[in-house]
Amino acid sequence: MVRVSRARTAVVVVAAALTAGLLVSCGADSPGEGVTSAPHAKDAACERMADRYPDRLGGQELTFTDRPGVAVWGDNAIVLRCGVELPVPTIDPCATVEGVDWVFREDRSKDGGKVVVTYGRDPAVEAVVSDGVAAVDDVLVDLSALVEPVKTYTKCVNDEDVPPPPSPSPSE
């Protein structure tokens, strides 16, 4: 039987408690917690973009950039992921902001927050903007400046871009 002194046992217990406290303090409210890099986050365009992340966005300070292609402003108030899968043609609403097309993913937007993905750019960029950010339009303007250098291969098509169906001929 191995004997361990009480002092040594106390040190182990204190160290374990401190470690557990550290893990709790770095929980889900920590910037970047639970955010994973996108499949194509190591694309050269994502790496170039990372060098240009703004220090402030939507009134929030840049707080996390420790994973490839991931940036977080505030306490996860705005989360950007570069290198997400390219969106397929969709009927989801699309807006062009400063020359960059953004698709609003209403099916993934929850609790008043918004999920938007660039459309027609490779690699694609996703931004999740929480409902605590008042100026979503300003955020999209700033993000558009960030992603504008990414090569465009197509653009959103809105209802106005689709020609009306031909009128039936009088003989029909």
- For residue 29, the model assigns a pLDDT of 63
If pLDDT is split at 50, 70 and 90, which confidence band does 50 have? very high
How many Cα atoms occupy the beta-carbon half-sphere of 92 within 13 Å? 19
Q: What are 97-146's pLDDT values in tens digits? A: 999 999 999 878 777 789 999 999 999 999 999 988 988 899 999 999 99
Q: What is the pLDDT of residues 79-94, one digit of tens each?
A: 999 999 999 988 899 9
Q: Which residues contact 81 (CB under 8 A, 6 or more apart)?
A: 35, 37, 38, 41, 69, 70, 125, 126, 127
Residue 5 has pLDDT above 70, yes or no: no
Q: Please list the residues that pair with 94 across neighbouring strands.
A: 103
Give the integer Cα–Cα distance in Å for 70 and 42: 10
Tens-place pLDDT, residues 137-165: 999 999 999 999 999 999 987 666 666 77
Of 48-62, 68-82, 104-118, the one with minimum mean pLDDT is 104-118
Cα 162 → chain centroid:
30
- pLDDT grade for 54, boundaries at 50, 70 and 90: very high
132 vs 170, which has greater pLDDT? 132
119, containing H or E segment: strand 114-119
